[in-house]
Amino acid sequence: MPAGSGCGRGIGFARYKNRAAYAAVIAEVEVDEDIQLLKVWCAADAGLVITPDGAINQLEGGIIQSASWVLKEQVQLEGAGISSLNWETYPVLRFSEVPEVFVELVNSDSDVPLGVGEATAGPTAAAIGNAVAHALDARLRDLPLTRDRMMAALLAE
């Protein structure tokens, strides 16, 4: 995928709050009029994992929540107040927009569990932002990554 082709992959990596799980996330996007998140891969070191299915579910949920923040969620203002007062007017990622998500837990020799509750939030946001920058060959610096912000970034280049 060459830069600026409309398709891109990006990576994000972090250790949650400097003392919990490590998570690496790769996001694949396609950008046309809007950003379509196609696939997300995650590898996480959660230390000693007591319930692997539960840890994977937490990591997947964090990926989807972060994707919604990055691509959709924003409080709408109109006039002197907030106009997004309910789920009809507040944009969130729809089930039809949820990408394929693949999560692998890294084998660890640690005897200490590391928290995974929000470990994928930051790396997912970074991965999506980097994938969009790769797809457009232009960096968007404000969230959510809307069509208007894509156009502004492209016109600024």
The pLDDT score that the predictor gives to residue 100 is 97
For 22, the enclosing helix (H) or strand (E) is strand 22-31
The pLDDT score that the predictor gives to residue 115 is 87
User: From CA 69, how far away is CA 144, in angstroms rounded?
Assistant: 7
DSSP state of 118: T
User: What average pLDDT values come out for the chain (157 residues) when binned by 10 residues?
Assistant: 87 91 97 95 96 96 98 87 84 94 93 91 98 96 94 88
The pLDDT score that the predictor gives to residue 69 is 97
What CATH number labels 7-139? 3.30.365.10
Note whether 92 and 144 are within 8 A (CB): no
For 26, the enclosing helix (H) or strand (E) is strand 22-31
The pLDDT score that the predictor gives to residue 132 is 97
User: Which of 128, 77, 142 lies closest to 152, judged by CA?
Assistant: 142
The pLDDT score that the predictor gives to residue 111 is 87
Domain locations in the chain as residue ranges: 7-139
